[in-house]
Amino acid sequence: MTTRRPSLAGVLRRAWRPVRPVLIVALPLAGLVGALACAGLAWRDARANHAIAALAAGHDRPVAADAVPELLLARIRFLAARERLDEVEPLIAALDGRGSPALRALAQIALGNARLRQAFAKLEAGDLEPATPLVGLARHAYRRALTLRPEAWDAKFNLDVASRLVRDFPERGREQGEEMPADPKKIWTDIPGQPRGLP
């Protein structure tokens, strides 16, 4: 007498019986968890967009180092425009850890521009000594931006301006302690396509 082997359909039916009640409960719960996660992300993005718009409009907003990269960039630009560079450095470090190369390059350009503005203010006041390291820091920031995003035209242009500015400092080899008035015509350089005498 031969015994019949159970069919595949019968085996599957028997295996499905204990699993079915678990799936009936688990699937709606998984859907609910997914919906809550999506709602949380949407709320976070809405808050970040609101803060970015406020910073762009000139309203100060505190930003944590673990904020989304776009919000970090907005805060970096806000602080750099106001030359609050001590507050910029930790945010740039946080952005370097999580941001895309394009966002990191924009942050470096903002930092370089702030340093270059400080250098210009020193040069216009005839104070050449403190201007030199500021120009060097600006050049470093522009080089980092170009490493991250080689096609960044603003970084290329501003790096060229900063490089010519250092090269054209008047009489860098003068004696220590010797007073010398700054002549803006010797400091500002001629850049192709720009009016004569402008940076």
> In tens digits, what is the pLDDT along the chain, a chain of 199 residues?
555 666 777 667 777 777 777 767 777 777 777 767 767 766 666 777 888 888 888 888 889 888 899 999 999 999 999 999 999 999 999 999 888 999 999 999 999 999 999 998 988 888 888 888 999 999 999 999 999 999 999 999 999 988 887 666 654 444 444 454 555 544 444 444 444 444 4
Looking at the whole model, is its pTM more than 0.75?
Answer: no
Q: How far apart are CA 54 and CA 78, in angstroms?
A: 10
Fold of 62-170: 1.25.40
Residue type, 90: P
> Which pLDDT belongs to residue 178?
45
Q: Which residue has the tokens 């750099």?
A: 80
Residue type, 121: A
Q: What share of the chain is helix, strand, coil (3-state, %, to 5)?
A: 70, 0, 30
